[in-house]
Each structure stands twice: as C-alpha cells, then as structure tokens.
Structure 1
Amino acid sequence: MKEFVDKLFIIILSIFTLIGIYTDTWKVLVIFLLITISALMSYLRIVEKKGILADKILEYLLGILSVFFPEVIIFIPVISYEAFLDRQIIVGIMLAAGFVISSLKMVLSARLMLGAVIGLAVFLAYRTEKMGKLLVENRKIRDEGEINKENLRKQNKNLLEEQDKSISAAQLSERNRIAREIHDNVGHMLSRSILQVGAMMVVNKDEKMKQELMSLRETLDTAMNNIRNSVHDLRDEAIDLKTALEEIAEPLKSDFNVTFEFDAEVGEISKEIKYATINIVKESVSNIIKYSKNENVDIRFYEHPSMYQIIVHDYAVNHGDGSVIDKTKVNRRTVPVIDPVSGEGMGLENIRTRAEKLGGNATFTNENGFRVFVRIPK
C-alpha cells in the first residue's frame, strides 16, 4: 500500500513536470502507459520469484529505452523508484545516462525539476524500504513476544500444577502419618486396655463389678472400632490412584516399552473403585511379567461421563508388511501363556469378579498379545 501511494505521488509530479514536452496526441497515451507500467511493476513485485524476475527484466528494458528514446524520460522517476528497491545498479546507470541525454534539449528549470522528482523518488524508495524492514522487525518482535507470553503461561500453569501436586502429596503424607500414629499408639493402648479389662472380668467374682467391667469393655470396643474406621478412612483418602498405578507399572520398565496414560479427576473416584483398579492392574501386570513374550505394554485409565475404563495390553511390534514379530524365539521367558478365551487362571477370574462386584465387566482378548479391558460404572 505504501509503494502504491509513493508511485501515485511520483506519477503526479512527473506528469506535472514533463507532460508539456508531448503533443496533445501523445499526452493521454503517455499518461496511460505511465500508470499501467507503474501498476504492472507493483503487481510483479508481490508475485513469487517469476514475477520479481519479470519486474527486473522490465526495469532493464525501460532503462535501455531511456537512453535511446528521449520520450521515455517521463518514466525515469518511477523506474528509479523500482531500481532502488531492487538494487539494480546497472539500471540506475542507464537511467542517469538517459536523463543526461534527454534533458539536454530541456530548459534549466524543467531539468532541475525532473532531477528533484528523481531524487524524491529515490528518497521515497529508501524510506519505504526502511519502514518495511521496521514493520517486519516489529512483527517479529510482537510474534516472539506472543510466543514468550504463551510459554510463560504454560510454565506458570505447569508450576501451579506442580504446586498443587506437592500440596496434595504433603496432605496425603500427613494423613498417612496421622493414621499410622493413631494405629501404633492409641490403637495399641486401647487393645491392651481391652485385654486388661477381659482379664479383670475373668478374675473378678463380684457380679456388680463384672457388669461395670462389661460396660467398660463395650465402651473400649466401640472406641476401638471408631478409631479403626477413622484410620481406614484416612488411608483411603490418602490413596493417589495415579501414583499407585505408576508404581505398579515400574517393574515392567526394565523389560518392556511401557506407555502409561491417566485421564481422570482423582478426587472424584470412590475408594472402592480405587482399590478395584489397583488390584486389576496389579493382577494384569503380574501376568505380563510371568507370561508375556512381547515387548510393549500399554496401561491406560480413562474417565468417561458414565464410567471408568481400564486397559492393560501387551503386544508385539508389527513388520512393515503387517506381520507380527515372533518373540517366542528370542524371549527368555518359557512359561506357557494362559489362554484368555477359556478363562484359565485365578488371576483373570479375580479381575472379572472385581469388575462385576462394582457393576462392571471385564473382557480378555489375545489378538497380538494379551489385552485386559475393564469397564466400571461411576
């Protein structure tokens, strides 16, 4: 847009300065050609490499014409503008020669005005080029600023997530500590008190005292049960399902390529589902360690609107032709693989039982490895 405005201004000055050298018949044609050539050069500049090459060729042709045809002198300011932008030194020399030759027949005032218009054209080209570079640099800085801003936003988000994880881990650790201290200290003292009261009831012959001791024992039993339930609740809340599953998968990493994915809101998962998931994955991992002759293991836990999904799959890598690598010839494990279709083995039955107990189901397939697929409703 800036080049268009510059050229329009140069064309107006060129016409005002030199149109008088043409006859009435040529004036309209010269003005038309001047505008057309200027527009064509601007168009070629914005086209890809072929357009730029055509623009340079056109500059050379007009430069040559300016030397041999004095009538082309009106085009020199516009061509000078283009030649400066393209750093066409040879074209510039030809334009200077054309200006000197063509202006010999002009009066001094017209010659000076034309020289001023050419100088102005070169200055406008320089200013436009500089502004273009500044604009590109400004856009680059702005883009880099946006990228840095986005990176900082991501880093800040990750930092907040890590802080939340650290706080959650600290809370879970504190709950475990409290539960352990209650169990080890208060629980043991209550257990000892219950045993002591029981011994006193056996030794004491006074019926009235026995009734009092019986009431005391019932109170201690109630306190013991309440503490036991509280300790269990604290431990249940302290279970981090994602961390627990990662720890279960850890032994696989020495022999398998493990892919672990966890996509769920941990705080919304009930303790029953947590325990079932841990045991299902633990049983599946145990079977893989014992029997798998493959090299890859996927462990995935997904939360859906109405259910949780557990997938544990060990499989082999495919050849390019789609056939599966036979790992039985190279794998050091020689224990035969359990047939998942027939349901052999207590481990698979335990997985199915745990899923069905929570209203879910478990399916097992043996296409390219062994795959455990469990659905548990929320």
Structure 2
Amino acid sequence: MKTLLDKVILILLAAFVFVKHFKDMQLVIMIFVMVTAAFLTSYLRMIGNKFSLINKIFVLIAASICIFIPKAVFILPIIIYEAYFDRHYGAGLISFVAIINAFNLFQPQEIIYITFIMILAGYMAYKTDVIDKNRIHIKKIRDEGEIKNELLKHQNIIILEEQDKNIYTAQLAERNRIAREIHDNVGHMLSRSLLQVGAMMVVHKEEAISQELKDLRNTLDTAMNNIRESVHDIRDDAIDIEISVNEMLKPLESKFNLNFECDVENDNMSKEIKYAIINIVKEAVSNIIKYSDNDSVDIRIDEHPSMYQIIVRDYDSLGHSKDSEGEEVEIDHRGMGLDNIIKRAEQFNGQAYFTKGNGFRVFVRLGKNI
C-alpha cells in the first residue's frame, strides 16, 4: 500500500511538467501509461518471486523506450523506484542515459526538475524498503515472543505439575513414616503393656484387682486394634499406583527402553485393587528381568468404566526377538508367577492372557465390582 502511495505522489509531481507537453488524447494516454506502469510493477513484485524476472524485464524495456522516445522520460521516476526494489542497476543507468538524451527536447529547468523527482523516487523507495523490513522484523520478533511465551507457559505448567507431584510424593512418604513410627513405637509399647497386665493378672488373682486388670486389658486391646486399623488406613491411603510401579521399574532402566503410561484415578481405588495391580505388574516385571533378552518394555495401566486394564509387554524394537513367531499366539504352559497373575485376576472377576510373538505380552482385566 505504501508503494502505491509513493508512486501516486511521483505521478502528481511529474504532472506539473508533462501537462505542458501533452494535449488532449496524448495527455490521457500518458497518464494511463504512467498509472498502468505504477500499478503493474507493484503487482508483479507483490505476487511473488516467480514474477520478479518479468518485472525486471518490464522495467528494463520501459527504461530503454525512454531513450528512443524522449517524451516518455516522465515515467522514469516510476522506473527508478522499481529499479531500487529489484536492485536493477542496469535499469537505473539506462534511466539516467535517457534523461541526458532528452536535453534537446526540454528546457534545462524541466530536466533538473525531472532529475530531482528521479532522485526523490530513489529516496522514497529506500525509506519504504526500510519501513517494510522493520515491519517484517517487528512481526518476526512479535511472533518469536508469542512462541516463547507459549513455551514458557508450557514449561511453567510442567514445573507446577512436577511440584505438585513432589509434594504428593512427600506427603505419601510422611504418611508412611508416621504409620511406621506409630507401629514401631506406640504399637510395641501397647503390646508390652498388654503382656505386663497379663502377668499382673496371673500374680494378683484377687477378684477386685483381677476385674480392674481385666478392664485395663480390654481397654489396651481396643486401643491396640484402633491403632492397628489407623496404621493400615494410613498405609493404604499412601499407596500410589504410578509411584509404586515407577519404583519397581528402576532395575529395568539400564537394559531396556521403558514406556510407562498410567491413567487411573488413584483416590477412587480400593486398597485391594491397588495391591492386585501392583503385584500383577511386579510378577510381570520379575519375569522380564529373569527371562527377557529384548530391548524395550511397554507398560499401560488404564481405567475404564467397569474395569481396569493392565498390559505389560517386552519386545525387540527392530522385530528380531528370539520369541518372534510372526503373529502373536496365546500360550498355555506357564509357571507359578503367571498362575499367581491369573488367580489375582479371578479374585476381581477378571481374566489374564499371555501371548508371545515379538517378545512376551501380559494382558489382564480386573473388574471394578467384586
């Protein structure tokens, strides 16, 4: 848009002179030629690089025509303007040859005026070029800034999620520590107190004292049971499927490429389901450690509306597993570890399947409703 405005200004400046030399139809034709040249060159440059050569040829031909038709020198400011953008130094040189060639046709002050407009055209082209480059540079900086902001937001989200995960892990660890200390300290003290009361009941068999000791023992028994239940509840709440599986995968990190995905609502799971899933994965991982010669392990734990799904698979990433038999086939012969997986699945109205093809695959479904 800026280039078209510049060219309109150049045409208006040139009009102060060429209206004296063209009359009637010639004037109309001259105005039409200048306007057409101005808009055509801008259009060719705007639509892309594949038309830049056509634009250069057009500018060169227009400059050359001005040598043979001196009256056409009024179009030279437009040619100079385009020559600057195309870095077409040949067209610029021909333009100045054309203005020198027109000395005999125009008065000196008119030649000077046209030359001034040509120089002004070059300056206007330079300023417009600088503005366009600055606009592109600013847009690039703005786009890069938006990209960096998006990356920063994404990184902040990751950091916050990691912080939340660390806090959650620390809370679970603290729960386990509290449960362990209650069990080791308070639990042992209560156990010792129960033994002492029992010994006192053997020594003091008087009815009054014996009844009080019996009441004390019942109170201690109740306290012991309450503490035991509380400790179990704390430990059950502290069980996190994803953290537990990640812990048991550590021995595999040096030998296998691991891919672990866990999509379950840990808070809504019963402790029995948690223990079952953890033990099933533990059995599968134990088999991988003992028997697998492959290089990759995939583990997926997914929650569905009516069931939990567990898939543990070891395989060769290049498809060269020694167990490779083309398509996967279900196996019937199994050891104690796989039998344990089947029994755990059956406890929750589920099924377990074992297949081998490229590696070994454990597929387990556990029902949510026992």
Common fold by TM > 0.5: yes
Matched residue, 1:321: none
Give the match for residue 334 of structure 2.
344
1:121 positional shift: 1.8
Offset of residue 17 of structure 1? 3.1
Q: Whole-Å Cα distance in 2 between the matches of residues 82 and 46 of structure 1?
A: 12
Distance 1:139 1:204, change over 3 A: same
Task: Report the Cα distance in structure 1 between the residues aligned to 2:262 and 2:33, rounded to whole angstroms.
Answer: 70
**How far does residue 230 in structure 1 lie from its aligned partner after superposition?**
0.9
Amino acid at match of 2:7: K
Residues 30-49 of structure 1: pairs in structure 2 closer than 5 A: 30-49=30-49
Instruction: Write out per-residue CA displacement over residues 265-306 of structure 1, whole angstroms, 9 at most, x where no aligned residue.
Output: 444444332212110100111122223343321112234455
Corresponding residue of 1:374: 364
Partner SS state of residue 30, structure 2: helix
Structure 1 residue aligned with 2:121: 121
- 1:70 is displaced (CA, Å) by 0.7
Whether contact under 8 Å (2:10, 2:121) holds in the other structure is: yes
Which position in structure 2 is the counterpart of 1:186?
186
Partner AA of 1:214 in structure 2: K
Q: Which whole-Å deviations, capped at 9, do the CAs of 1:105-140 have from their partners, x for residues lacking one?
A: 223443343233323322221111010111011112
**Residue aligned with 2:301, SS:** strand
Q: Deviations over 1:192-248 (max 9, x none)?
A: 111222223333333443333222222111111111111111122222322211121
Structure 2: state its 5+ residue gaps. none
Give the 3-state SS of the residue equivalent to 2:331 in structure 1: coil
Deviation for aligned residue 1:340: 5.6
Q: Give the Cα–Cα distance (whole angstroms) in 2 for the partners of residues 341 and 155 of structure 1.
A: 45
User: 1:257 touches 1:296 (CA, 8 Å); kept in 2?
Assistant: yes
Matches of 2:194 and 2:177, distance apart in 1: 25
RMSD between aligned residues: 2.4
Q: Distance in 2 between matches of 1:93 and 1:60?
A: 10
The letter of the residue matching 1:94 is: I
Alignment of 1:1-378 (within 5 A): 1-304=1-304, 306-318=306-318, 324-327=319-322, 341-342=331-332, 344-378=334-368
CA distance in 1: counterparts of 2:5 and 2:258, whole angstroms:
63
Of stretches 109-118 and 220-229 in structure 1, the one that deviates more from structure 2 is 109-118
Residue type matched to 1:354 in 2? R
Question: Within 1, Cα distance between the matches of 2:112 and 2:321?
Answer: 90
> Counterpart of 1:333?
none
Q: Does the CA contact (< 8 Å) of 1:73 and 1:99 recur in 2?
A: yes
Partners of 2:346 and 2:323 in 1: CA distance: 34
* Secondary structure at 1:254 match in 2: coil
How many percent identity over aligned positions? 51
Structure 1 gap segments, 5+ residues each: 319-323, 330-338
User: Does the 8 Å CA contact 2:245/2:278 hold for their aligned counterparts?
Assistant: yes
TM (norm. structure 2) is: 0.89
Say whether the 8 Å CA contact 1:301–1:310 is kept in structure 2.
yes
Once residues 56 and 289 of structure 2 are traced to their aligned partners in structure 1, the CA distance between those partners, rounded to angstroms, is 72
Contact map agreement 1:360 1:374 (CA 8 A) in 2: yes
Amino acid at match of 1:243: I
User: Residue 361 of structure 2 aligns to which amino acid in structure 1?
Assistant: R
Length, aligned pairs only: 364
Q: Quote the Cα distance in structure 2 between the aligned partners of 1:304 and 1:53.
A: 63
> What SS class does the counterpart of residue 276 from structure 1 fall into?
helix
